[in-house]
Amino acid sequence: MRSYRFEVVRSAIFVLMVLVLSFTSGLAQTTESNGQSQDTGVRPGNRVVPSGQKLTVKGIIIRRDADTFSIADDVNNETVVLLTDRTSVKSKGGFFRFGKDYDVTSLLRGLRVEVDGRGNQNGQLVADKVRFDSGDLKTAKVVDSRVAPVEEANKRLSGQVEEAGEISKAARDEAGKANERISALDDYNVQDSISVLFKVNSAVISPEDKHALDELANKAMSTKGYVIEIAGFADSTGNTARNRALSQQRADSVVRYLQENHEIPLRRMITPFGYGELRPVADNGSAEGRRQNRRVEVKILVSKGMTRSGE
């Protein structure tokens, strides 16, 4: 248990360091035309993969968007990876065992991955295969659930670097614009949201909630550059392990419904995570409160960077 906690802390610190380095390196860039970088996802300073070139990249996921994610290697080279319906996502195998298939929704920030693919005309790496250790996925889920505090710490540290004079006066003048450009893919606006409620010990979606999901799916598919965030929860009855498993089953039920009934690509549904009895929205001391806590929150998110690029 102690070693697992150590791995979680180590990964969180690594993600924080990579984000800080990404921020400071972005500040060193002069403000250029943002149209191309926002359209392709490849910003100044990123690795540009030549079209058609085969490449294997290893690193940690530091950004996640609808169809792409960015990974940073050990020397902080950043590569934008494009996901397709043909991308194979698996855990790594070992002696006498094969890797397990995973959905692209498992590609969370903080996950160490190895990507095989080819470059496209936009300088992105089109992923044929993505591989990772299953143990790293457990760590990444913990890191991803705490990413907001990490990003906030990153901003504070970036400010301290500014005040220490480790970047130029000109870069400090452009700090706000550069930070906006670098963090755009991680900074989302909530376009719409619903809560799907469940009966006790159940992960079955009711007919009325299916109708609500249908309406949400139609709105999502008419929105440019959308992603859907799905988080499951449980009330406080029962033990912690059971509640976590049940909340994950509820989140997975919503993912399956949206995929099977509306053909929403799995790569557009990020972080289907079960929080168990954490983050209650009502008092568990009453039957009505417990009913409200047996829920899955479904949100349509649109990157602020995408919104601004269309203005």
Neighbours of 261 (CB within 10 A): 12
Contact 140, 64 (CB under 8 A): no
* pLDDT value of position 38: 44
Indicate the pTM of the whole model: 0.54
pLDDT tens string for the chain (311 positions)? 545 455 555 555 555 554 554 444 444 443 443 444 444 556 656 789 999 999 999 999 888 887 889 998 888 889 999 999 899 999 887 666 677 888 888 888 888 999 999 999 999 999 999 999 888 887 777 666 555 455 555 555 555 555 545 544 544 444 444 344 333 445 678 899 999 999 999 999 999 999 999 999 999 999 888 999 999 999 999 899 999 999 999 999 999 999 999 999 888 887 678 999 999 999 999 999 999 999 999 999 987 765 555 54
Domains, the chain, ranges and CATH?
A: 2-184 (no CATH), 187-309 (3.30.1330.60)
* pLDDT value of position 99: 79
Would you call 6 exposed, middle or buried from its count of C-beta atoms within 10 A (0-12, 13-18, 19+)?
exposed
* pLDDT value of position 40: 53
Of the candidates 159, 166, 184, 152, the residue with the CA atom closest to the CA atom of residue 16 = 152
| Per-residue b or e along 121-143, where b marks 16 or more CB atoms closer than 10 Å to that residue's CB | ebbbbbbeebbbbeebbebbbbb
Of the candidates 72, 108, 104, 251, the residue with the CA atom closest to the CA atom of residue 186 = 108
Q: In 3-state terms, what secondary structure has residue 2?
A: helix
Q: In 3-state terms, what secondary structure has residue 69?
A: strand
CA torsion 58-55-85-231 (nearest 10°) is 20
* pLDDT value of position 45: 60
* pLDDT value of position 138: 77
User: What residues are paired with 79 via a beta bridge?
Assistant: 71
Tokens of 262: 């509306």
Of the candidates 232, 250, 203, the residue with the CA atom closest to the CA atom of residue 299 = 232
